[in-house]
Amino acid sequence: MTVTDITPALLIDFGGVLTESVLGAFERACIAHGVDPQGFIGDAFAADHAEDSPFALIELGRISIPEFIERVTPVLSRHAGGTVDGAAWYDEVQKTTQQIDPLMVDAIQELIDRGVETALVSNSWGPRDTYPWDRMPKLGEVIVSGEVGLRKPDPKIYELALDQIGRPAAECIFIDDVEVNLVPARRLGIRTILHTDRESTLAELRNIYR
């Protein structure tokens, strides 16, 4: 790959892109605890969360992890038809944070080393120090939802990323594993890549950063 004079900046999600699939982790944890994964995942990734939903509150940094567990337990239980151990479910899901995809990391780091500007745009379920920074690419900017009080798919978080990276939307690419998060970025004029697997994402990046 060679980088051209006008090289697109790269905005990239964390969970599910630099790690194993978050959706897969949710499904695995739900099945392990007797929760219907389809129903629960529909709740977790809905674009129109009420402001007081546990998912919106944790990602906006308005509640602590223990408060999130307390609030998400009834949601899990509703999709299980019985009481679920929310703390155990959360611990299972959080294992994903440590399941870094080293080949994705190496590929992104290679682009960074070649001069590609980058920004992490991540919906967080906890503070910044929960990220395994020592095993991640050396990303230029970091936008973590709980710190900035904005969460995907709110268009304002993408506008903030553009402002921080100092590039117009037309000169940026955004990778995320959740389609609903890509829609508002696309409407702003950002080119998007839906991450379904490492090979297809890296193939797209190779075509872009020749």
- The one-character DSSP state at 99 is -
Among 190, 209, 193, smallest CA distance to 201 is for 193
Q: Is the pLDDT of residue 50 over 80?
A: no
pLDDT at site 32: 93
Residue range 22-96 in CATH 1.10.10: no
Strands (E), the chain: 9-12, 118-122, 141-144, 172-176, 191-194
pLDDT at site 89: 95
Mean pLDDT computed over every residue of the chain: 92
Measured in Å, how far apart are the chain's first and last C-alpha atoms? Answer: 4
Higher pLDDT, 2 or 32: 32
Separation between Cα atoms, residue 208 and residue 107, nearest integer Å: 13
Domain regions of the chain by residue span: 9-19+100-208, 22-96
pLDDT at site 1: 42
CATH T-level topology, domain 9-19+100-208: Rossmann fold (3.40.50)
- Answering whether pTM is above 0.75, one says yes
Separation between Cα atoms, residue 137 and residue 77, nearest integer Å: 37
pLDDT at site 15: 93
Residue percentage of the chain with pLDDT more than 90: 79
Q: In this predicted model, what pLDDT tens digit does every residue of 7-19 receive, in sequence order? A: 999 999 999 999 9
Separation between Cα atoms, residue 25 and residue 45, nearest integer Å: 14
Q: Is the pLDDT of residue 131 over 80?
A: yes
Cβ pair 180, 42 in contact under 8 A: no
Separation between Cα atoms, residue 8 and residue 35, nearest integer Å: 41
